Amino acid sequence: MKILELDEENGVVKLRVEDIEDLWNLRILVKPGDLIEAKTVRMVKLRTEMGDVREGRRFPMDITLKVEVVEFDRYGRRLRVRGVILDAPERFEGVKGSYHTINVKPGSIITVRKEKLYGYELDRLRKLCVSRFTPVILVSIDRDEASIAVLRGYGYEIRADIQSRIPGKSDLESREAEVLKFYSDIAKAVIDTVNSLEVKPMIIVVGPGHYKNLFVEYFSSVYPAYSDRIRLCTVSSGGISGLAEALRSGSLSRYISECRAVEESMLIENVLKEVGRGSGLAAYGFDEVEKLSSYGAVKLLLVSERMLDKLDSEGWSRLYNVIEGVERMGGEVRFIGCDTEAHDKLIALGGILALLRYPSQYC
């Protein structure tokens, strides 16, 4: 993402979207009530000199839209911004006041006008302009199960789930043949995933015991060009549960410390440890966190992006007040958006979680 113009005082930022990661992060910046200026294409019905309506045609035009709904479409590689058109070229009759959806894609230039640009929004924008995340392929493997996922800044996408029925050691010949077929199927799925990505990724193989090591030996012998891109990480299980464990434990962080999914999982788990200890240094649920933020007690605020879609105007107003209060007292605000096991725990606790400066009983 590149910031083309920035007016902090008036809450205006003009951006150029460069890739799909930027679209995901714009999902957090653009909120209902904001104004978006962008070039779009819209069907318009024209009139003849006699006043008759002719068949509609699609025209490119610059419009200003008041945002009502924002949807991230990771498969369509676009951000869909829907709302009411407030401004459009006068020659296009009937466009103003009508509903429209702007499709923001890599390469799009948009201007966002907000009542206020919050500190956490500016910090996130600036970080995005200097930091890019290289996709990572995660291979979670056990004795007879493997899952392959692409880990991006916004979470992971499962690309393959492979099962095998490997015979016992009493039938060595059949066992070796089945193991080779199992490894071959996994390796092919990994290469297919590599070829689907825009840039050359890192490959991290996770799993218990020696299973991951044996697969890496096989993969490196068949695809030696990728051997320098492979890393190993130990977890207690393979398959999808192994992926969740690797993210939850933070064991991947030394390889991909910039990855949002890993970072978010660690943030949530660290606060949940305080919940489990009963130390009074953690709080959850909107009402409780709102009360504690008014006392300046919140050091770190975690908010689920899934919760944002359920907020009405009053809910947004309350959340903004909480955010302002946390930032005013030097606290940190983080939005949680990745589809992880830790995020599910956050949702179960009401979608909002806080780490406190001092125990809540002193408030």
The tokens describing 8, both together, are 């902090």
pLDDT higher than threshold 90 for residue 174: no
Please report which confidence band the pLDDT of residue 149 belongs to, taking 50, 70 and 90 as the band edges.
very high
Entry pTM: 0.56
Mean pLDDT of 272-279: 95
Residue bearing the bigger pLDDT, 223 or 92: 223
Q: Which domains does the chain have, with CATH numbers?
A: 2-130 (2.30.30.870), 136-258 (3.30.420.60), 261-362 (3.30.1330.30)
pLDDT higher than threshold 70 for residue 153: no
Query: Helix, strand or coil for residue 56?
Result: coil
**What is the pLDDT of the chain when averaged over all its residues?**
87
Contact predicate 13/25, CB 8 Å: no
* Element of type H or E holding 239: helix 239-249
Residue bearing the bigger pLDDT, 333 or 156: 333
> What are the pLDDT digits (tens) for 192-218?
999 988 778 889 999 998 999 999 999
pLDDT higher than threshold 80 for residue 253: no
pLDDT higher than threshold 70 for residue 130: no
Q: What percent of the chain has pLDDT over 70?
A: 90
At residue 29, the pLDDT reads: 86
End-to-end CA distance of the chain: 42
Mean pLDDT of 311-322: 83
Residue 12: beta bridge partners? Answer: 7, 113
Query: Helix, strand or coil for residue 349?
Result: coil
Q: Kindly list the distances between the CA atom of residue 96 and the CA atoms of 56, 239, 297, in Å, as whole numbers in the listed order.
A: 16, 52, 46
- In one letter, which amino acid is 348? A
> What are the pLDDT digits (tens) for 348-359?
999 999 999 999
Mean pLDDT of 157-168: 87
Contact predicate 220/166, CB 8 Å: no
Closest CA to 155 of 305, 351, 339, 23: 339
At residue 355, the pLDDT reads: 97
At residue 251, the pLDDT reads: 73
Contact predicate 205/217, CB 8 Å: no
Mean pLDDT of 60-64: 95
At residue 145, the pLDDT reads: 94
At residue 187, the pLDDT reads: 97
Mean pLDDT of 238-246: 91
Q: What percent of the chain has pLDDT over 90?
A: 52
Contact predicate 62/89, CB 8 Å: yes
Neighbours of 238 (CB within 10 A): 25
Query: Helix, strand or coil for residue 49?
Result: coil
Q: How far from chain centre, in Å, is Cα 118?
A: 20
Q: How far from chain centre, in Å, is Cα 76?
A: 15
At residue 239, the pLDDT reads: 94
Cα gap 279→362, rounded to integer Å: 12
Cα gap 151→190, rounded to integer Å: 13
Instruction: Say what the alpha-carbon torsion angle 234, 268, 72, 110 is, to the nearest 10 degrees.
Output: -110
At residue 39, the pLDDT reads: 95
Cα gap 164→176, rounded to integer Å: 12
pLDDT higher than threshold 80 for residue 256: no
At residue 212, the pLDDT reads: 94
Mean pLDDT of 176-204: 91
Residue bearing the bigger pLDDT, 339 or 148: 148
At residue 154, the pLDDT reads: 58
> What are the pLDDT digits (tens) for 25-57?
787 789 899 999 999 999 887 665 555 556 678
At residue 259, the pLDDT reads: 62
